Amino acid sequence: MRITAFGATGGTGQHLVRQALDAGHHVTVVVRDPARLGIADHPRLGVVTAPTLADDAAVAAALDGQDAAVSTLGRRSGGDPSVCADGARAIIAAMRKTDVRRLVVVTASGHVVDAGDGPVTRAAFKPLLGRFLRTNFADFARTDEIVRASGLDWTIMRPPRLTNGRQRPFRTDLDRNVRGGISIARADLARAILDALADPETAGHTVGLGY
């Protein structure tokens, strides 16, 4: 598969790129600073440098001829409060121009309360969490809306708290949060993204995950 990765210099993005290359995929990354990628030259790795995703020509060039796009964009401390939503808009616009249909986007489970959550999580934990992460959660919610309305073959990954822990078995659930799944390692999130890309049954669905 030929994959274009956005957010490839982040914690999850670096795992995703390494795992995709190890699995034999061709990966094109769109980055501001290639030095932050943390991966040496690889015969199946392409790098497109773009100062922002508002660089329409660069984003379209990175998607031309690809099979899928993956966004692991996330807001750094003090960063753009709409980075995920703005990124999704730019990626989707470029996908339409280049006729790429498969899209996997990472948001989170924290801003969503559904049947997968236990009563304490619904009534206490998530409302409290929302007070501290209001800006991030608002960005995730807007991103979800944009992706759902894209008309593409989309999948939204909804992880809980991300860690740098080792890989281990994790659980997933379609269109609902994973009961009791309060964390997942970035490496396992990357693995779940690749699993979703390979599974057409996840198109048009959200994927909850956690331990």
What average pLDDT does this structure show over 173-195?
A: 97
User: Token digits for 112?
Assistant: 């969503």
Q: Which residue has the tokens 């993956």?
A: 70
* Phi-psi sector, 98: left (phi>0), alpha (psi -120 to 50), beta: alpha
Residue 142 CB contacts under 8 Å (≥ 6 apart), including other chains: 82, 84, 85
Please answer whether residues 20 and 66 qualify as being in contact, where contact means their C-beta atoms are separated by less than 8 angstroms: no
pLDDT for the residue numbered 38 = 83
| 58 has a pLDDT exceeding 80 | yes
Backbone angles phi, psi at 67, to 5 degrees: -95, -25
| Average pLDDT value for residue range 109-125 | 87
* Per-residue pLDDT, 76: 80
pLDDT, mean of residues 72-80: 86
Domains observed in the chain: 2-210 (3.40.50.720)
pLDDT of 128 > 80? The answer is no
User: Beta partners for 5?
Assistant: 29, 70
**Average pLDDT in the 55-78 region?**
94
Any idea which of 83-87, 106-110, 129-133, 143-147 has the lowest mean pLDDT? 129-133
In angstroms, the CA 69 to CA 57 distance is 16
Q: Tell whether the model's pLDDT for residue 54 goes beyond 80.
A: yes
CA angle 135, 136, 142 (to 5 degrees): 90
What pTM did the predictor assign? Answer: 0.94
- As a whole number, mean pLDDT of residues 162-185 equals 97
Instruction: Give the SS3 label for residue 29.
Output: strand
Query: Residue 77: is its pLDDT beyond 80?
Result: no
Q: What is the CA radius of gyration of the chain?
A: 16
Q: How confident is the model at residue 103 (pLDDT cuts 50, 70, 90)?
A: very high
In terms of C-beta density within 10 A (0-12 exposed, 13-18 middle, 19 or more buried), how is residue 201 classed?
A: exposed
Alpha helices, DSSP H, located in the chain: 11-22, 56-63, 83-98, 119-120, 126-132, 134-148, 186-198
Cβ atoms of residues 96 and 62 within 8 Å: no
Poorest-confidence range of 26-30, 115-119, 143-147?
115-119
Q: What is the mean pLDDT of residues 59-71?
A: 98
Whether pLDDT at 174 is above 90: yes
The residue with tokens 């990472």 is 106
**pLDDT greater than 80 at residue 12:** yes
| Tokens at 71, concatenated | 């966004």
The percent of residues in the chain predicted with pLDDT above 90, rounded, is 86
- Average pLDDT, integer, range 165-178: 97
Segment 161-175 shows an average pLDDT of 97
